[in-house]
Amino acid sequence: MEAKEYFSTRRTVRSYSDRPVDDKMIVDMLEQASHAPTTGNMQLYSVIVTRDADEKARLAPAHFNQPSVMGCQVVLTFCADYNRFVRWCEASDAVPGYNNFQSFMTAVIDTVIVAQQFCTIAEMAGLGCCYLGTTTYNAPMISEALNLPSMVVPVVTLTVGWPQGETQVSDRIATDAFVHFGRYEDYSPERIKEIYAEKEAREDSKKFVAENGKQSLAQVFTDVRYTREASEHFSRVYMAHILNQGF
């Protein structure tokens, strides 16, 4: 597959075949991914590879038992990790000062970049991947299941495997809706309506609205999928866990 075709038609894969993905393939792709950009060449991340059924079962509740967790060949948990770097500093008579929000965000950025680099490499090799948005919801459960030490926090999770069947290309808003030249140009009500008109007109969007008894697609997001109450609850959980892990 040519790069242009891959990027314009990439799909999230949640259903996987039984075809195995061996450890060498995963490690080789992670090695390639490790050449992604990283702050100060510090590589402030670690990746936990989970493939055993019992180990996946321990992770599944933290991801609200999404079928892709048990159905995939491999679960990869990408963690912001200052533990390794701090230990190196301390062993080298250097005094680290990284137990702060700035350092945490630096590690988060490193982690997200390497995770996406891996995702691209894996998908271009024919594998399917799915980001699980639940990692930051239940980070304490994930940290316990994976035995994460201080200064290590889970950030993103990918399920990986060979695709089972076809999946739909996700819709995206037009490029001119999010690209700003020079300065940010805020949106008028009319422009907002224009930007989201195509998304709202999709049959699957109309189905979401009808199934949830709402008047608009936006209400499905605010009232059902990503509510204020849930966002505030999981914000408290994640913030408390970040602090508990030493940042």
Tell me the per-residue pLDDT of 24-37, one tens digit each, with 9 for 90 and over: 999 999 999 999 99
With beta carbons less than 8 A apart as the criterion, state whether 56 and 49 touch. no
DSSP letter for each residue of 61-111: GGGTT-HHHHHSSEEEEEEEE-HHHHHHHHHTT------SHHHHHHHHHHH
pTM above 0.75, yes or no: yes
Distance CA 139, CA 145 (A): 10
**Residue 191 domain flag:** no
- Report pLDDT for 67: 96
**Residue 224 domain flag:** no
**Residue 55 domain flag:** yes
**Residue 108 domain flag:** yes
- Average pLDDT (190-214) is 95
Tell me the residue range of the domain where 20 lies.
3-168
- Report pLDDT for 60: 97
With beta carbons less than 8 A apart as the criterion, state whether 38 and 29 touch. no
**Residue 97 domain flag:** yes
CATH of the domain at 55: 3.40.109.10
Query: In the chain, how many domains are there?
Result: 1
**Residue 115 domain flag:** yes
**Residue 38 domain flag:** yes
**Residue 69 domain flag:** yes
| Tens-digit pLDDT profile for residues 90-132 | 999 999 999 999 999 999 999 999 999 999 999 999 999 999 9
